[in-house]
Structure 1
Amino acid sequence: MKHALGLALAAGMATLATIGWLGYRLLDQNRSPAGIPPGLVASQELPPGQAQAAADAIMALTLPDLDGRPQAMAQWRGKVLVVNYWASWCAPCVEEMPAFSRLQSRYAAQGVQFVGIGIDELENMRTFVKANAVAYPLLVGDAAGTQTPALQVKGLPYTVVIGRDGQLAHSRLGRLDEARLEPILQRLSLQ
């Protein structure tokens, strides 16, 4: 009897978890104005052949900041550059931003620069930063601007780390936590 009750309870919890996950995914996908699905996806490293092309594509971007001023990514050439594609409607994106702000403050003196590229409406981004402190520049992107032959942003959040030498050092599709990112920054900031 106890065994049967335990199995029924485990099956019920698994069903609820699946329904909750699917509901969350559908809710966020329905809220996505850019058509890019939000996080909750596995880590996905770029194959070596695509890595340099992706880094070059990012460094070639010029996007407006929240005040409409164009900002060339090339202005941060020679720094360890952490580029995070995010949106205000993407819960995993919002969850990782405080850690990114802490790391920006901690590693700025070692030449590390975080940049957020919002795949979102400008007004949503402005509202977000009024309510949430962000210690790094935010630029306004769009879904079309993230889809080049060299760079495919297939979900959010998506983070790319480019070394001082312009080489792609790390990429992750999905939430990137502080414990995983900090050792990468430590290593690259010493190079």
Structure 2
Amino acid sequence: MEKKQKRLYLRIAILAVLVAAIVYTIYTTANKNDVKLLKVGDDAPNFSLVDLNGKTHKLSDYKGQGVLLNFWGTWCKPCKKEMPAINDQYKEFKDQGIQILGINIAQSELEVTSFTDKLGVEFPIVIDKTRSVMRAYNVDPLPATILINKDGKIENIITGEMKEKEINQYLNSIKP
């Protein structure tokens, strides 16, 4: 009798887990479409992230400036290839009303610092630890770059590796 009762409880527990998994899957699938896809001309979603030096960067603080957001990861080969070109353009444009933010996707500070130090990156690097900014901007795959004009509107969305000449053209297009 006791064996049958244990088996019954085990079956009920397994059934409860399966039902929870099904409900979760249905819920996440139904809400996946609630994320608004960003397009050129939309207001850029505001965010606040901390850089590797402890400074907080809020997108709203850069209103009146052109902003290039570059989403990347250390494992991403095209990200690694374009990073020095972005850095060179940062040096050229940083005093011309242009802000560049490198947004790493949820890696450790040690990984990110080691990667950026090796490449000599000078522009601010922030880590999107919860991937909330990545989700807000619908970023997938990496690298992805969002150009924001001085009015806080999305000017361009670039997916994939950029060459230095293209970066220069993009930054000129958002220069205030």
Using the size of structure 2 for normalisation, the TM-score is 0.70
Q: For the residues of structure 2 that align with 1:69 and 1:108, how far apart are their CA atoms? A: 17
Query: 1:106-145 to 2 correspondence within 5 Å?
Result: 106-119=92-105, 120-142=107-129, 144-145=131-132
Q: How many positions carry a matched residue from both structures?
A: 138
- Displacement of 1:96 in angstroms is 0.4
Q: Mind listing any 5+ residue stretches in structure 1 that lack a counterpart?
A: 1-45
- Displacement of 1:171 in angstroms is 0.9
Identity of aligned residues (%): 26
Structure 1 152/102 Cα, relative in aligned 2: closer, same or farther at 3 Å?
same
Q: Tell me if structure 1 keeps the 8 A contact 2:39–2:154.
A: no
Within the alignment, does 1:159 sit opposite 2:145 as a pair?
Answer: yes
Within the alignment, does 1:182 sit opposite 2:168 as a pair?
Answer: yes
Within the alignment, does 1:93 sit opposite 2:79 as a pair?
Answer: yes
Q: For the residues of structure 2 that align with 1:167 and 1:81, how far apart are their CA atoms? A: 10
Q: Mind listing any 5+ residue stretches in structure 2 that lack a counterpart?
A: 1-37
Provide the residue aligned with 1:7 in structure 2: none
Q: For the residues of structure 2 that align with 1:188 and 1:163, how far apart are their CA atoms? A: 5
What RMSD, in angstroms, separates the aligned Cα atoms of the two structures?
2.0
- Greater Rg, structure 1 or structure 2? 2
- SS of 1:156's partner is coil
- Displacement of 1:87 in angstroms is 0.9
Q: Which amino acid aligns with 2:90?
A: Q
User: Deviation per CA, 1:136-180, whole angstroms, max 9, x where unpaired?
Assistant: 0000113631213xx211111010010112111111111111222
Q: For the residues of structure 2 that align with 1:142 and 1:186, how far apart are their CA atoms? A: 30
Q: For the residues of structure 2 that align with 1:79 and 1:47, how far apart are their CA atoms? A: 20
Within the alignment, does 1:147 sit opposite 2:143 as a pair?
Answer: no
Provide the residue aligned with 1:79 in structure 2: 65
Using the size of structure 1 for normalisation, the TM-score is 0.65
Provide the residue aligned with 1:32 in structure 2: none
Q: For the residues of structure 1 that align with 2:116 and 2:60, how far apart are their CA atoms? A: 24
With 119-128 and 61-70 compared, the bigger mean Cα shift is at 61-70
